[in-house]
Amino acid sequence: MGVEVRTEGVTKSFGSQRIWQDVTLTLPTGEVSALLGPSGTGKSVFLKSLIGLLRPERGSIFIDGTDITTCSNKQLYEIRKLFGVLFQDGALFGSMNLFDNVAFPLREHTKKSESEIRKVVLEKLELTGLLGAETKLPGEISGGMRKRAGLARALVLDPQIILVDEPDSGLDPVRTTYISQLLLDINAQIDATILIVTHNIQVARTIPDNIGMLFRRQLVMFGPREVLLTSEEPVVKQFLNGRMVGPIGMTEEKDETQMAREQALAEAGHYDNGIDDIQGIPPQMRVNPGMPVRQAVERRRTRVREIMHTLPHAAQVAIQESMQDNGDTQVLPAYSGNPPQSPDNAYGTTVRHNTTNG
């Protein structure tokens, strides 16, 4: 079963360049979360910070209750065993075949015999649809197969937390859907806490239980998927609809003069870019037939009921409709009319109203 991952006021810089600041969120136990944001907003840096490869200047990162920013190197080494990480390119060793690539963590970090290692490796290769390809080198297979091999390697130590960096990188939409489905199926089988870093709108809209977004060195929001998908925040709407008009520019920073000029051109009908405004929320992808029931679904339902009164009205309506579609007839708490609570309740919604003026 997965474990909770929580950050409190985390800030990271490289020299004088601030990457992001005061990031507070909680990845609920065993649920699938996604972190969105334009290119260059530090999403991959955030993943590396969670696993302790990068150390933030301020704030705390709790993995199953242990703050990895203050723990000893020995403790950090043990905590890292809880993680499985799928990097953008799979990060496979080019001189090793797929079997040896997947077996590498077992040989490095366990005392298992070769027969035991073989059993585990073949099990993970079968899980990721690669059984029969174990003798192939990374250069002999497709990008999608390399991605699945990287995922198989990430799973061999039976991680409780899986970090996935841009699962769609280098893949066509069909292969991206297969990888996404595979992640949900794995969540159903091992109940791991999963965080997917992506800028793929389709992945974000159909896979995770929770969604967050980074922009201009801030966590714009984080919470149940319905919160972001019904948000009226300008940066969120622009990102989800792939439009030029809005706070996001080619270099992320866009001044007010440029924004006003583009808005005027849009109103004059000059722009017809992006996709039509997204209406409604698509159903969340489900696990394949024959897979175990995702335990995260019921846990999330219980958790969302508890924080319902803190969520925006549009998100509450979407959650009600989603639960009713799934046969849940229990009446949820009514909207209180109050604004969402502050990030103190990190399981709920973090909202920062700074996406227009920076």
Per-residue model confidence as pLDDT tens digits over 16-44: 899 999 999 999 999 999 999 888 889 99
The number of helices, as runs of H, and strands, as runs of E, in the chain is 12, 11
Q: Residue 218 falls within a domain, yes or no?
A: yes
Per-residue model confidence as pLDDT tens digits over 110-124: 899 999 999 999 999
- Of residues 239 and 71, the one with the higher pLDDT is 71
Per-residue model confidence as pLDDT tens digits over 266-318: 555 554 554 445 556 888 999 999 999 999 999 999 999 999 999 999 999 99
Cα-Cα-Cα-Cα dihedral of 39, 41, 44, 46, to 10°?
A: -160
Q: What is the pLDDT of residue 276?
A: 47
Strand, coil or helix: what is 125?
helix
Question: How many structural domains compose the chain?
Answer: 1
Indicate the DSSP class of residue 17. Answer: E
100-to-10, 144, 156, 202 alpha-carbon distances in Å:
37, 18, 12, 33
CA distance 209 to 145: 26
Residue showing tokens 């841009």: 166
For the chain, give the percent of residues with pLDDT over 90: 54
Predicted model pTM: 0.84
CA distance 147 to 149: 5
Q: Residue 285 falls within a domain, yes or no?
A: no
Q: What is the pLDDT of residue 357?
A: 41
- Of residues 12 and 269, the one with the higher pLDDT is 12
Average pLDDT over residues 161-181: 87
Beta bridge partners of 34: 196, 211
As a three-state string, the secondary structure of 189-234 is: HHCCEEEEECCCHHHHHHCCCEEEEEECCEEEEEEEHHHHHCCCCH
Question: What's the mean per-residue pLDDT of the chain?
Answer: 84
Q: Residue 56 falls within a domain, yes or no?
A: yes
The CA radius of gyration of the chain, in Å to the nearest whole number, is 21
Q: What is the pLDDT of residue 234?
A: 86
Q: What is the pLDDT of residue 19?
A: 93
Q: Residue 321 falls within a domain, yes or no?
A: no
Average pLDDT over residues 256-261: 59
Q: Residue 333 falls within a domain, yes or no?
A: no
Q: Residue 75 falls within a domain, yes or no?
A: yes
Q: Residue 156 falls within a domain, yes or no?
A: yes
Confidence of residue 107 (pLDDT cuts 50, 70, 90): very high
Q: What is the pLDDT of residue 76?
A: 93
Q: What is the pLDDT of residue 344?
A: 43
Per-residue model confidence as pLDDT tens digits over 194-229: 999 998 888 988 999 999 999 888 999 999 999 999
Give the domain extent around 94.
5-224
CA 6 distance to own-chain centroid: 14
Check pLDDT > 50 for residue 356.
Answer: no
Average pLDDT over residues 85-108: 88
218: CATH? 3.40.50.300
| 134: nearest Cα among 145, 143, 144 | 145
For the chain, give the percent of residues with pLDDT over 70: 81
Query: Please, are residues 199 and 165 in contact by the beta-carbon 8 Å criterion?
Result: no
Six-digit token pair at 172? 């066509």
Q: Residue 349 falls within a domain, yes or no?
A: no
Range with top average pLDDT, 154-158, 249-253, 255-259 = 154-158
